[in-house]
Amino acid sequence: MNKKLLCTLLLVAAFLSVWAQKQNRMNTQDNSQFVEITDVVPDAILEIRYFSTYNFVGTRVDGYQAPVALMTRQAAQALKAVSDELIAKGYRLKIFDAYRPQMAVDHFVRWASDFADTAMKPYFYPNLDKKLLFPQQYIAKKSGHTRGSTIDLTLFDMRSGKEVDMGGTFDWFGPESHPDFCGNPDTGRYTGDNSKSPTGRSITPEQFANRMILRKAMMAHGFKPISSEWWHFTLRDEPFPNTYFTFPVKQLR
């Protein structure tokens, strides 16, 4: 390796090291790099589940002080591109959750550790023993939402005036929520394979296709999916990949 190339590599390494240290030292109470999503995507519909009591916990979750959705500026701009594409096709985005403060994640962890509290089991995890929430990674001590560039959402059909039928509810703990349930998300092909469902439940070709409409639009504009939830996406080039913010969800102005 020549000296010039070695010097260049060392400079790049030094820059990345300084950048990483800066990320780790960030004030996690600083919301200055966040926006209210509806300021950037005014057509978005909000149903902030953790501000309400209709969620898997059954109470308002710690840290949700207002029914608003927050994201980093970069993620919100990418979401605007998604919205513009889908509006042209007759859809609007419906948002269940976006930025989630660490205190909310801590609330989830406490709830998951209380095996006696199963009030919402019939609605969100009827086929799952609550003791498996941690082992099967439905609940974790850290969440990508807390970094500010992850969102949970679905589609709203402007023609029918109804939420699009995705064949399952947001925050359903089970294989029926996986993007590959009954189909191949990479090819968009419906297979009908419901072998992972503990009750033999299926979704229809139309329901699978609806999931793919959302997935394709999100991925086309810089978001990446996960393998366990059809509604969950994170900006690929998220600006704060190592920072877990702690400020509450509230109006920014």
Report the catalytic residues. 229
Q: Alpha-carbon distance 90 to 11, whole Å?
A: 49
Outline where DSSP puts E strands in the chain: 34-36, 45-46, 70-72, 91-97, 150-157, 162-163, 183-184, 189-190, 223-225, 232-235
The pair of structure tokens assigned to 70 is 């927050």
CA distances from 32 to 27, 69, 71, 105 (A): 10, 15, 11, 21
Under a CB-based contact definition with an 8 Å cutoff, are residues 220 and 2 in contact? no
The shares of helix, strand and coil residues in the chain, as percent rounded to the nearest 5, are 35, 15, 50
Amino acid identity for residue 123 in this structure = Y
CA distances from 119 to 20, 60, 84, 126, 143 (A): 42, 14, 39, 11, 23
